[in-house]
Structure 1
């Protein structure tokens, strides 16, 4: 069994809203269909070509009407399709209501804030016995607004359906033995260590922003920043394959402001 995390392709169109809607803070795995009020979204930039899975929120994928027709029956009982308003397209927010408490807390490596709050998983392990064959898409209760996980079956379905937009990052493979996992973690930690101990790691946040505005990239710790073709900031996080998962984000986590950066 393999579990994948959905991320958004850099080729996706990006949806924005005129102002933040408090209701979006409630997308945490519960049903919203009865209280949902559609709101207007806008396409930011025009050079992107993928419209099946537009980039919007990390914990709530958006799909267009063509994608909805193809996956609606496939994900029956696991998601709600919440309509959005756009002048030219029919978009739907994919509200995933299948929340499974399936993380193996004994093996997983969590990250914590200075106040002791769990903020992320540096490495995540799942309890295979708690994931059914019908759990094609799901969230975990620890971070219901942050991650969307899918099975091999979902990944293969999308890849065989001529839909474009989601990227799939492997987060867990039940067939990998513990020795291999530990080796991967060691390589990952050594890579991060080499970045954080580089003599070139000297840019302030302001200097890093000036650098990427020249169409150059910067790195620090597990993060990478660059601009896309529409000059939106792409925030990348290093995965266990030593590749960066990028999302287009107007929100910059405060932790990044205090880091030192270097040229990528």
Structure 2
């Protein structure tokens, strides 16, 4: 990346007014959990797990989003969202089908791994044996300019292992895709990085 360019990195947040997906059975949940820390491509042996859509929270009816969530870091896409994201992120992810009732949505499986964390300067808490940063620090030179999204190495045990770049975030926002929000966690121009509250 050129010295004059600003790099901004984001984490994924849920948007509360939207429906979310969850595994239909314990077997589907166990199958899906196997790949959470796995960055290897899975399309060749993937068997689509079954999910269900949760559209109510108490008495509040929730809107159907373009970008579904399951846990904080995961993203599930409808066909419209995939068409927007795939041209930007195709080298960094694979799209794996998930059965949602009679429909198919897509799990965006992040396969690009970059060891880009500056652990010495990252302010972090540990929760359940995992790292949950309050202020992130990255080694900018480790992140290629063309990257849209990447995951941190699984052995580092970050609670939020997926990092989204400004290019992908702007693509999603400009297209008006609904269902997820993004929080700035690092800006190369800032001396003091944003404080990230516990999830």
State the 1:67 CA deviation: 0.8
Distance 1:38 1:118, change over 3 A: closer
Q: Name the SS for the 2:115 alignment partner.
A: coil
User: Structure 2 CA distance, aligned partners of 1:67 and 1:121?
Assistant: 29
1:90 Cα shift? 2.5
Distance change in 2, residues 1:162/1:15 (3 Å): same
Tell me by how many angstroms 1:93 deviates.
0.7
2:118–2:138 contact (8 Å) kept in structure 1: yes
Normalised by the length of structure 1, the TM-score is 0.63
Which residues of 2 match residues 135-154 of structure 1 at below 5 A? 135-141=147-153, 142-143=156-157, 146-154=160-168
Q: Find the aligned partners of 1:158 and 1:113 in 2 and give their Cα distance.
A: 30
CA distance in 1, matches of 2:40, 2:157: 13
Give the conservation status (yes or no) of the 8 Å contact 2:11–2:160.
Answer: no
Report if the CA contact (8 A) 2:118-2:139 is conserved: yes
The equivalent of 1:97 in structure 2 is: 111
Q: Choose between structure 1 and 2 for higher RCO, CA contacts under 8 A separated by at least 6 residues.
A: 2
RMSD: 2.2
In structure 2, the residue matched to 1:34 is 44
1:85 aligns with 2:99: yes
Mapped to 2, the partners of 1:11 and 1:113 lie a distance apart of 27
Alignment correspondent of 2:32: 24
Q: How many residues align?
A: 183
Task: Specify the SS of the correspondent of 2:88.
Answer: coil
Deviations 1:84-129 (A, max 9, x none): 1123432111100011100001211232369xx4532232100010
Q: Does 1:7 align with 2:13?
A: yes
Tell me the CA shift for residue 145 of structure 1.
6.9
Larger Rg: 1
Q: TM-score normalized by structure 2? A: 0.82
Match of 1:165 in 2: 179
Distance in 2, matches of 1:118 and 1:87, equals 33
Q: Distance in 2 between matches of 1:145 and 1:66?
A: 28
